[in-house]
């Protein structure tokens, strides 16, 4: 077990195009968004394992000796096969939850325990450590916050247990692992996601591990080679929604009006492919006309998503407010509220961006100015992190 303090971070994700259509075998484009989850792992010799999640107000401590005595033979198959419902029930016994513990809190704790017990059980004794995770990502907004968490936990534990080397060299601000090591991180992060979500697609953890952008179609994930730097506004309407209900709504509309809805899904697929082609062209020499095409694609896709029945008054309001300033927006993810993205052209005056952010805030929305195509899971030197992040990780 390594004795060094580890600092890692992983990005969230947004769906650029293809949400809902992807359920019906079409292409979706997912991109890493530069709102990140940060993790600090501090090895100890105090016989305790501490998990601290300040964003959701959780702090749990276990005795290593007690965990060591637990029968964890149920994890024997943990390397390759999915965490079963039975396994998750047994993890709950190990976790010893208090009565008033809410579901998201339980899920985060169970994913940590699963990864800790599976990855660290190859050590002679289970290690004592403090783990603190702090995120810029809101939870439950469809921005891949649970995947970023699983990716950070898996990478930190694999590195601390010396299953993979720490790639950070002296004097470097940040570094990334080799492709082979990233594949191992991704494998374990996906298992963590399965503990949290049951049957995830694997897109969120893949985006968080690799960064940049990827296309997803019928279970197949492929990375886009390079991505131009694109600035966006990411807006959370804070309107809660049920992804399951929205997906079911699209399915029933497709069954009711197949001749109408099937072409809409095909058209969304064409939008995703055209966007992918346009992004490829922009890598070499981005031109103003490229941005005009991206804006048109955003507008058309938003209308299609409304036609599928996954729009919402809050998202209409977002589109109206940004359009009043000449900007183009669409929902991202499940719709029915949730989040939207707005493309920021490079020639845009900062005063316009500030005015839009102000207008969106006055609608009661949360708004972040950020970029897409962010780097995936990275390890950092402490000095390279912004002061607020360092303070959050130090618990100040």
- Check residue 396 and give its pLDDT: 65
Between helix 288-307 and helix 258-284 the angle, nearest 10°, is 160
Confidence of residue 76 (pLDDT cuts 50, 70, 90): low
Q: What is the pLDDT of residues 354-382, one digit of tens each?
A: 999 999 999 999 999 999 999 999 999 99
Confidence of residue 1 (pLDDT cuts 50, 70, 90): confident
Residue with tokens 């990334």: 176
CATH architecture of residue range(s) 6-226+376-394: 2-Layer Sandwich (3.30)
Name the pTM for this structure: 0.92
List the domain boundaries for the chain: 6-226+376-394, 230-372
Between helix 313-323 and helix 350-361 the angle, nearest 10°, is 150
% of the chain with per-residue pLDDT over 70:
97
Mean pLDDT, residues 188-208: 91
Torsion of CA 278, 281, 282, 287, to 10 degrees: -90
Between helix 203-210 and helix 179-197 the angle, nearest 10°, is 150
The catalytic residue positions are: 146, 204
CATH architecture of residue range(s) 230-372: 2-Layer Sandwich (3.30)
Distance of CA 244 to the CA centre of its chain: 18
Mean pLDDT, residues 69-86: 70
């Amino acid at each position: 077990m390594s004795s060094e303090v580890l600092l890692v971070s992983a990005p969230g994700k947004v769906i650029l195009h293809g949400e809902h259509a992807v359920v019906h075998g079409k292409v979706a484009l997912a991109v890493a968004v530069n709102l990140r989850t940060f993790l600090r792992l501090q090895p100890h010799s105090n016989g305790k394992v501490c998990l601290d999640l300040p964003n959701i107000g959780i702090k749990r401590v276990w005795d290593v000796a007690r965990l060591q005595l637990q029968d964890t033979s149920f994890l024997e198959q943990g390397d390759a096969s999915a965490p079963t419902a039975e396994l998750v029930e047994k993890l709950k016994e190990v976790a010893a939850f208090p009565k008033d513990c809410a579901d998201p809190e339980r899920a985060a704790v169970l994913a940590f325990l699963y990864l800790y017990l599976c990855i660290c059980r190859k050590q002679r004794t289970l290690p004592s450590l403090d783990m603190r995770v702090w995120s810029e990502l809101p939870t439950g907004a469809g921005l891949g916050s649970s995947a970023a968490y699983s990716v950070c936990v898996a990478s930190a534990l694999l590195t601390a247990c010396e299953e993979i080397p720490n790639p950070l060299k002296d004097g470097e601000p940040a570094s990334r692992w080799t492709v082979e090591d990233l594949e191992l991180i991704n494998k374990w992060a996906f298992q963590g996601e399965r503990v949290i979500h049951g049957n995830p697609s694997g897109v969120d953890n893949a985006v968080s591990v690799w960064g940049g952008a990827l296309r997803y179609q019928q279970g197949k994930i492929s990375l886009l080679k390079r991505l131009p730097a694109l600035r966006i506004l990411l807006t959370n309407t804070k309107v809660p929604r049920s992804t399951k209900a929205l997906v079911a709504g699209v399915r029933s509309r497709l069954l009711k009006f197949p001749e109408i809805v099937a072409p809409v899904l095909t058209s969304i697929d064409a939008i995703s492919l055209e966007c992918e082609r346009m992004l490829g062209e922009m890598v070499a020499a981005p031109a103003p006309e490229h941005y005009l095409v991206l804006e048109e694609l955003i507008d058309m896709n938003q209308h299609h998503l409304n036609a599928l029945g996954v729009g919402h008054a809050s998202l209409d309001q977002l589109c109206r407010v940004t359009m009043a300033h000449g900007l183009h927006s669409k929902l991202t993810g499940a719709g029915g509220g949730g989040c939207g993205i707005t493309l920021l052209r490079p020639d845009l005056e900062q005063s316009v961006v500030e005015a839009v952010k102000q207008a969106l805030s006055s609608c009661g929305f949360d708004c972040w100015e950020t970029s897409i195509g962010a780097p995936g899971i990275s390890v950092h030197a402490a000095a390279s992190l912004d002061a607020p992040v360092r303070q959050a990780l130090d618990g100040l």
